[in-house]
Amino acid sequence: MLNVGKIEEGYVLDHIEAGQSLELYKHLGLADMDCTVAMIQNAKSSKMGRKDILKVECGIEELNMDVLAVINHNITVNVVKDGEIVEKKELTLPKQIKNVFKCTNPRCITSIEQELPHIFILADEDKGIYRCKYCEEKVGKGDGSKKKNR
Ligand code: CTP
Ligand code: ZN
């Protein structure tokens, strides 16, 4: 069992669907932030079988929670301060999200009109499904669909 130490301050994003952490890393813009990141992939989990975990050491209030909610609202967001979890955040689904995800439909107007903003709208509140404002395509891979076993 691979062990990664605890963090002092920042976020532990837990219960990420196995295989989703790299996508999260990209959409959260972590490469451009001044923070230390540990990505744990394919960890054993009693609840989920396999899961990913992202540990982000950074000042709190720095992460865009909307991005997390859109990719997968079942992720647990642990907020850590002085080495202790001070909060497990509930992710709330934003009504719409702008210029974070690109529509993948090649026939979508946003693929042709380059200056249009990429806007996704909450289409199904219970399932957390977002669809392109223009063509109704679902958000990238973050549609909650299960990955095949590797
Ligand atoms: N963690 C961390 N640094 C800290 C505190 C916690 O990296 N200073 C990590 C733990 O290693 C664990 C995650 O945060 O991976 C969640 O911790 P905890 O809530 O204690 O675990 P569980 O009770 O298993 O969480 P849950 O009930 O959400 O499944
Ligand atoms: Zn579209």
Q: pTM of this prediction?
A: 0.86
- Asked if 104 and 120 touch (Cβ cutoff 8 Å), the reply is no
Per domain, the residue ranges of the chain are 10-89, 96-140
Q: How far apart are the first and last CA of the chain?
A: 19
The model's confidence at residue 150, banded by pLDDT at 50, 70 and 90, is very low
Would you tell me how many other CB atoms lie within 10 Å of the CB of residue 3?
5
Of 1, 7, 8, 12, which is best to mutate to test ligand 1, by the most ligand atoms within 8 angstroms of its C-beta? Answer: 12
CA 134–ligand 2 middle distance (angstroms): 5
10-89: which CATH topology? Alpha-Beta Plaits (3.30.70)
% pLDDT > 70, the chain: 93
Produce one character per residue of 81-116: b if its CB has 16 or more CB atoms within 10 Å, e if not: eeeeeeeeeebebbeebeebbebeeeebebeeeeee
Is the pLDDT confidence value at 147 over 70? no
CA angle 3, 8, 12 (to 5 degrees): 60
Atom of ligand 1 lying closest to residue 8 CA = 8
Atom of ligand 1 lying closest to residue 84 CA = 8
Q: Averaged over 100-127, what is the pLDDT?
A: 94
Q: Give the span between the Cα atoms of 8 and 55, in whole angstroms.
A: 10
Second CATH level (architecture) for the domain 96-140: Roll (2.30)
Is the pLDDT confidence value at 88 over 50? yes
**Is the Cβ atom of 78 under 6 angstroms away from ligand 1?**
yes
